[in-house]
Structure 1
Amino acid sequence: MLQCSFGSLLSTATTAFTILFSLLLHSPISLCADQSTLVDIAHRSPVDVVLAKDESWLVTANETSDSITLVDLVSGNCIDELKCGGQPASIVLCLNGQHLLVSCTGSGEILLVQIDQSKLLKKATISVGYEPVGLTVTPDGQTAFVGLTATGEVAQLNLQEARVEQKFAVGAWPRYLAISPDGTRLAIACSGDSKIVVADAIKGEVLYEERLIGGINIGHMQCSEDGKYVYFPWMVYRSNPITVGNIQRGWVLASRIGRVRLDGPAYREAISLDVPQMAIADPHGLAMSSDGNRLVVSASGTHELLIYRRPDLPFIGAGGPGDLIDSTLLRDRDIFSRVDVGGRPMGMAISADNKTVYVANYINDSVQKVDVESRKIVQEISLGRTPEKTLARHGMELFYDGQRSLDQWYSCHSCHYNSGVNSKAMDTMNDGSTLTMKTVLPLYHLQQTSPWTWHGWQSDLQDAMHTSFTTTMLGNSINDEEARAVMAYLNELQLPQNPFRNPDGSLTEAAVRGEKIFRSEQAACASCHNGPYFTDGKIHDVGLGSAEDYYNGYNTPTLIGLYRKVRYLHDGRSKSLEDVLTGDHAPEKVSGERALSPEELSDLVAYLKSL
C-alpha cells in the first residue's frame, strides 16, 4: 500500500527558544503581544496569506487550527483570530478590499469576512460543495471563482448576494485558479487530469485546455500584468525505474515553472528548477511583482524561496525544457537565487513596491517577511501560542520533508499528495520488479488496513516506512522513533465530509439501492470488500495480473474515499468507476453471475462514491 515515499524546526513552545531560533536564522521574531482574542494554544499551520491594499495588515488561513489570523504589520502583532470552517485552504481580498473570502476544504464552505476596526467579522457563509480549494476574484471584487476538487467543477459566486451563481465542469482536481487583469479569462489547474484549463470568466464556459505531460501537483497560479500568460509551478513524473542515475538526471520526479497563454491555444512553455545534487522538492506557492520583474516560488519540500528575474527566464515550449536547470541561471544571482526560510513555506503575497514578500510558513506557525533584493528574512511573526511538539507533528514534518530523499528531489507528499494520492501510476521499486506501474494508494486508515503494498507482501508497517525512505526515496533510513512519528501523523488524518451523500451524511436514494447491489450475489463486491474499511486483508487473483509482477495476486484495497481517485485498479488502467465496472473488473467477471443492468451499474457507482 505504501507506494511512494513517507516523508524547521521553529518551535514556539517558549519565548526563549523562539528568540534563540530567531538569532540562528538572523531574523527578528515578533510574538503576538495580546493573545486574548486568539484561539487556544494550537498549531496554526498557515497555508495562505493575503495582504491589505494599504499593507497595514495581513491575514493568514490556518489549516490545522481551522482559523484565520489578523496581523497588524505596523506593530508586528496578531490582533484577532476567527474560527472558520474545516481546513481553510485559500484566502483573497474582495468587494472593497476590506472583505476577505476564505475557502474551507473540510466543510465545503466559503466564508465572507469583513475587517472592521481591527476585528474579523463573519458576514456570510456560502455552501459550495466539496472540496473547495483555490479562490480568485474579478478585478471589481464583486465575483469570485472557486475550484471544487471533489466534483471537478468551478463555482462562480455572487459576493453581493453571497450565493452560488453557477457551476461548470472543468476536469479532475481543480485545486488552484487565477483570473486575468481584465476579468475575461479564467485559468484553472486540474491536477487530476494533468492540464491547465482556460475558460471564459464571463460566460463560465471552457475555451481550451493545455496538457502537462506527466504533470502532478500543480500549485498556485498568477496571471502576468499584461494578461497574456498564467504562471504556475508543478512537478513532472516520468515512468523510469528509481535508480540513483535516473533520479539525479530528473528522470523520476522533477520540478518546473510553466506558463500558458490566455489569448488562445498554444503549447505550454516551461523552465526546469532542479539544481544537480541539490534539487527542488514540492514547489507550491507562486507570486509575481506588480511590475512583472520578480517571480517568487515557494519550494515547500526544501524549505526555501526561489527568487527569479522573470523577463530573463529561458522559457521553452515544444521540445523543452531540459531535465535540469538551465546553467545560465546559475551564473547570475539576480536572475535566480535560493533563500532558506526553514519550515514549510506555502502561500505568499508581494508588497506593492515589489521589495517584500510575505510567506505563510506551515511548520513554523508564522508569517515571514523576506526582502526580495537582499534575499534575507527581515522579520518573522509567530501566529500565536503553540503547544510542545507532539510525535504526530514531528511525523508531519518528516512527511513533507524533501531533504530526506536522495539529493532532495521529492518527499512523501510528492506522491501521496496531502497523504492522499496523485494522478499517476508509478514504479516505486517497492514490489520487487521494475516498470510494473502501480497507482498510489491513500494513507488514510493505514494501520487498520493491513497488509500493505498492492501485492500485500508487507506485513510490518514500520518496516514499510523504512523501505519507503530507503528504496523509494533512496534517502537515509529513518530510525524507529521517526517511523513511529510518521505513523502517529497518519493516524490523525481525517477525510473531509463525503460530497456524494446527503447533507446530513446519510446515503442518497440511489446509493441505498447501490448498497443492496454491492452486497448481492450478482455483484459479489462484498465478498472481498467487507468490514468497516471495505477490505478483507487478503490477496486475490482476479485475472488482472502481469507476467512482469514479482508477486502473484493483489491486496484488496479499502474503498473508503474512493471518489477522490482518478485512476482505478492496481495499474490505473481504468479512469472512472464506470470503466472499472464494465471493463476487466466487471461484476460478472468476478462473480460469474449475470451482468448488471445500466440502472444497477448507476446505483452501484452512486454507492461506491458515497464510501
Structure 2
Amino acid sequence: MNLRRLTYLGIAVCIASVPVLAVPAQPRSVEYRSPVDLVLLKNDTWLVVANQTSNSVSLLETKSGKILDEILCGDHPSAIVACLDGQHILVSCAHSGQISLIQVEGGKLNEIHTIDVGFEPTGLTVAPNGKTAYVGLVATGEVAELDLVQAKVARKFSVGAWPRYLTVSPNGERLAVGCSGESKIVIVDLIQGEIAYSSKLSGGINIGHLQCSADGKYVYFPWMIYRSNPINRDNIRRGWVLGSRIGRVRLDKQEYREAITLDVPGMAVADPHGIVMDSSNKRLVVSAAGSHDLLVYRRDDLPWEGVGGPGDLIDPKLMQDRDLFQRIDLGGRPMGIAMARDGRTVYVANYLKDAIQVVNIEDRSILRDIPLGQRPRPSQVRHGEELFYDARRSLDQWYSCHTCHYNGGVNSKAMDTWNDGSALTMKTVLPLEHLDRTGPWTWHGWQEDLHDAMHKSFTTTMQGRPASPREADAILAYLKTDRSPPNPFREKDGSLNESAIRGQKVFAGTEANCISCHNGPHFTDGEIHDVGLGSEEDEYQGYNTPSLTGIYRKVRFLHDGRAGSLEEVLSDYHSPEEVSGTRAMTESELADLISYLKSL
C-alpha cells in the first residue's frame, strides 16, 4: 500500500510499504481541490468528497463544516460512492486507472486497497449488498464488476462507447449505463451477465449521472441534445441547436424513453450533470454545471413525453408552479450532488468555487459554503478554466465551450459550427489538447491565429460576446495545460505492446505510408491535403492533417464523422489503396496498425 496522508492544515505523514516522498505542507494547503462528487455517511453526519485537481479525498463533519481529514488518492478522482458496511468508500481515479477502497473510521480516512482496472474508470455504483461495485471504463466501452471483499475485478461487460456514469437497480438485478459515445442508455441484466436492451437518445450528447427510482421502475438522467440546424440567433433561442433534457428509461422492460425539456426562454440550462432524488421520490434535483444552478422539481407531476416529445422549450406548466419547478443560482460549476435524509437539504460539489454548498431546496436558499482548503491566489489558468466551462458566455447561456469540447476533448457528433464559412457542412469536433503545437487550425486549416479563432468561436459558434484579450489569453493558458490522461493502451511502463510495435512498422512502411502526413511529435504535418473526401458545399478545399494523439478517445472519424471506427477508416475511406494507391492491408497488418494508433 502506498498511502500519503495530509491533514487539513497541510501536515504530511507517510505510511507506506515502499518509500514515498513526503508531501510539502504549504503547497498542499493552498492548492485548488476542485470537488466533483461527494457522498454522505454515518446518518448524514459525515460527508466524503472527491477532489479532482488535488487528487485527494476530504472528510467533513456536516454539522460544523469542519474538515476532519484529507488523504491523497490516485490521479484524477472522478466519482465516489459508499460501500461494504457504510464505513467504506470507493473512489474512481480515471487517469491512474485505479479504484481506491478507503475506510472511514474515527474521523480518519485510511486507504486499504487499490484495484487496478485501467482504461479510464469514471462512474461508480454499488450493489445493494455493498460488496459488489461497477465502474465504467470509458476508454474501452466496458463496465467492470468489482468484488470488494477480494478487491479484484470479477468480470467485464462490453456496453458501448464512453460509459461515463451508471447506476444499479434497488434489487441489484439491473444495471443502467449512459453511453455518451453512442447516445444511448444501456440496461444490463446482471443475473444473465448480458445486455437486456438499450434506449437510443437521438442527437444525445454528454449524458450525466444516473439515478434509479426507489421502486426500481425507472432510471433518471440528464443529457444534452444536438439538433443539426444552422447556428443563428433564432435557431439557438428556439432550442434547435443545443438543448438540455431530463429523461427516464424503464428498468423492468423496454419502452421508448420519456423526457422533459429544461430550457427557459432567454435563460437556458446548460451542461446538466448531477441528479438525485429524495427517499420518497417527491423531489428530483439536477445540477446544471454550465449555467451554474440547481434545478428542483416535484417529480410525480412532471409532464413526461415519449415518442415525438418533448418540446424545444420548457413546458409552460413548470413555469407557472414554483413548487413544481424552482431554480437556485449557485455560481461556480456545480457537479455531484447528495440528498440528506431530511429530503430538503442538498450538498453540492462546486468545482470552481472549490467548496461544498449546502442548499435548502424547499425555501430555495444556500445555507452555507464550506471551503475545502485555503484558496490559492487567482491565476490566469484558473480564470481560463472558468471561462471554458461558463455557458453564460453564449447567447442566452445555451452552451459552453465544454458542451462540444467535453473536458477539452471531443463529443460524439459531427456538428455545424459555421466556423469554416459554410452552413450545414458538418464537421467532427476537434480535440483541444496540444492546441498551441498543432496549428494551423480547423479542419480546412485556414485559421492561423488562435486569438482570432477564439474570437470567432465566441461570436459566431456561441453567438455571445467576444472574449477580451485578457480572457483569450487566460483560455489559451488553460488549454496549454496538460489535461490528458496517460494512454491506457500502453504498458504500465509506457512502452508499446508487441502488436503495437508491429503496427508502428506498418505505420511507417511504404505500403500504408501513414507517416508521410502524420509525422512529428503530434503526428501531423500541419499541411492541407486533398484525399478525395471533399464536398462541393465546403467553403475551402482540402483538409488539414489532424493530430493522431489520443485518437483512441474518438468515436467518429474523418472530417464529417462518416466512419464509426478505425477499422472502417483504414479499410474503406482512408485505406492505403484509396490514399496512396498501394495494396490493401492484411487482417493482421490492420489489427497491428490499430493497436499502434490506439497507443498514440
The TM-score normalised by the length of structure 1 is 0.94
Determine whether 1:588 maps to 2:550.
Answer: no
- Say if 2:444 and 2:540, in contact at 8 Å, map to a contact too: yes
Q: Equivalent residue for 1:461? A: 450
- Displacement of 1:279 after TM fit? 0.3
- Say if 2:9 and 2:29, in contact at 8 Å, map to a contact too: no
Question: Partners in 2 of 1:497 and 1:154 — Cα distance?
Answer: 20
Question: Partners in 2 of 1:347 and 1:79 — Cα distance?
Answer: 20
Q: Select 2:334's aligned residue among 345, 353, 365.
A: 345
Question: Partners in 2 of 1:494 and 1:220 — Cα distance?
Answer: 22
For 1:82-127, what per-residue CA distance to the aligned partner results, in whole angstroms no more than 9, with x for missing partners? 1011110000000000000000011000000001111100010000
- Displacement of 1:494 after TM fit? 2.7
Question: Partners in 1 of 2:549 and 2:273 — Cα distance?
Answer: 27
Determine whether 1:276 maps to 2:265.
Answer: yes
- Listed as ranges, the matches of 1:558-573 within 5 Å are 558-573=547-562
- Listed as ranges, the matches of 1:7-18 within 5 Å are none
Determine whether 1:511 maps to 2:500.
Answer: yes
Q: Secondary structure at the match of 2:144?
A: strand
Letter in 2 for 1:157: L
Q: Secondary structure at the match of 1:266?
A: coil
- Say if 1:33 and 1:77, in contact at 8 Å, map to a contact too: no
Q: Secondary structure at the match of 2:573?
A: coil
- Say if 2:8 and 2:69, in contact at 8 Å, map to a contact too: no
Question: Partners in 2 of 1:436 and 1:34 — Cα distance?
Answer: 54
- Say if 1:151 and 1:172, in contact at 8 Å, map to a contact too: yes
Question: Partners in 2 of 1:111 and 1:34 — Cα distance?
Answer: 23
- Displacement of 1:591 after TM fit? 1.4
Determine whether 1:221 maps to 2:210.
Answer: yes
Letter in 2 for 1:477: P
Determine whether 1:101 maps to 2:87.
Answer: no
Q: Secondary structure at the match of 2:29?
A: coil
Question: Partners in 1 of 2:585 and 2:171 — Cα distance?
Answer: 51
- Say if 1:35 and 1:384, in contact at 8 Å, map to a contact too: no
Q: Equivalent residue for 2:238? A: 249
Letter in 1 for 2:584: A
Q: Secondary structure at the match of 1:311?
A: helix
Q: Equivalent residue for 2:461? A: 472
Between stretches 69-78 and 465-474, larger displacement belongs to 69-78
Q: Equivalent residue for 2:511? A: 522
Letter in 2 for 1:563: Y
Determine whether 1:395 maps to 2:384.
Answer: yes
Between stretches 378-387 and 558-567, larger displacement belongs to 378-387
Question: Partners in 1 of 2:8 and 2:434 — Cα distance?
Answer: 40
- Displacement of 1:227 after TM fit? 0.4
Q: Select 2:160's aligned residue among 157, 171, 189.
A: 171
Q: Equivalent residue for 1:29? A: none
- Displacement of 1:35 after TM fit? 5.3
Question: Partners in 2 of 1:389 and 1:603 — Cα distance?
Answer: 47
Q: Secondary structure at the match of 1:280?
A: coil
- Displacement of 1:192 after TM fit? 0.1
- Displacement of 1:504 after TM fit? 1.3
Q: Equivalent residue for 2:527? A: 538
The TM-score normalised by the length of structure 2 is 0.96
Q: Select 1:44's aligned residue among 33, 40, 49.
A: 33
Question: Partners in 1 of 2:558 and 2:491 — Cα distance?
Answer: 27
Structure with higher RCO (Cα < 8 A, 6+ apart): 1
Q: Equivalent residue for 1:557? A: 546
Q: Secondary structure at the match of 1:583?
A: helix
Determine whether 1:487 maps to 2:466.
Answer: no
Determine whether 1:604 maps to 2:573.
Answer: no
Q: Equivalent residue for 2:3? A: none
- Say if 1:49 and 1:59, in contact at 8 Å, map to a contact too: yes
Q: Equivalent residue for 2:433? A: 444
- Listed as ranges, the matches of 1:102-141 within 5 Å are 102-141=91-130
- Displacement of 1:36 after TM fit? 4.3
- Displacement of 1:171 after TM fit? 0.2
- Say if 1:521 and 1:591, in contact at 8 Å, map to a contact too: no
For 1:234-290, what per-residue CA distance to the aligned partner results, in whole angstroms no more than 9, with x for missing partners? 000011000111000000000000000001110000000000111001000001111
Q: Equivalent residue for 1:23? A: none
Between stretches 392-401 and 487-496, larger displacement belongs to 487-496
Q: Select 1:299's aligned residue among 270, 273, 288.
A: 288
Question: Partners in 2 of 1:598 and 1:75 — Cα distance?
Answer: 63
- Say if 1:433 and 1:550, in contact at 8 Å, map to a contact too: yes
Q: Select 1:64's aligned residue among 50, 53, 58.
A: 53
Q: Equivalent residue for 1:335? A: 324
Q: Which ranges of 4 or more aligned residues in structure 1 deviate by more than 2 Å?
A: 32-40, 201-204
Letter in 2 for 1:577: L
- Say if 2:8 and 2:373, in contact at 8 Å, map to a contact too: no
Question: Partners in 2 of 1:43 and 1:203 — Cα distance?
Answer: 44
Q: Secondary structure at the match of 1:226?
A: coil
- Say if 1:431 and 1:551, in contact at 8 Å, map to a contact too: yes
Q: Secondary structure at the match of 2:256?
A: coil
Letter in 1 for 2:459: T
Letter in 1 for 2:433: Y
Determine whether 1:84 maps to 2:73.
Answer: yes
Letter in 2 for 1:566: V
In structure 1, list runs of 5 or more residues that go unmatched: 1-31
Question: Partners in 1 of 2:317 and 2:377 — Cα distance?
Answer: 45
For 1:284-312, what per-residue CA distance to the aligned partner results, in whole angstroms no more than 9, with x for missing partners? 00011110000000010011000000001
Question: Partners in 2 of 1:75 and 1:581 — Cα distance?
Answer: 59
Determine whether 1:417 maps to 2:394.
Answer: no
- Listed as ranges, the matches of 1:142-157 within 5 Å are 142-157=131-146
Q: Equivalent residue for 1:9? A: none
Question: Partners in 1 of 2:585 and 2:128 — Cα distance?
Answer: 51
- Say if 1:34 and 1:77, in contact at 8 Å, map to a contact too: no
- Listed as ranges, the matches of 1:202-213 within 5 Å are 202-213=191-202
Q: Equivalent residue for 2:177? A: 188
Question: Partners in 2 of 1:299 and 1:180 — Cα distance?
Answer: 24
Q: Select 2:536's aligned residue among 522, 536, 547.
A: 547
Question: Partners in 2 of 1:404 and 1:235 — Cα distance?
Answer: 18
Q: How many percent of aligned residue pairs carry the same amino acid?
A: 63
Determine whether 1:200 maps to 2:162.
Answer: no
RMSD: 1.0
Q: How many residues align?
A: 580
Q: Secondary structure at the match of 1:414?
A: helix
- Displacement of 1:33 after TM fit? 7.7
Letter in 2 for 1:411: S
For 1:305-361, what per-residue CA distance to the aligned partner results, in whole angstroms no more than 9, with x for missing partners? 000000010010001000000000000110001100110000000011101000000
Letter in 1 for 2:298: R
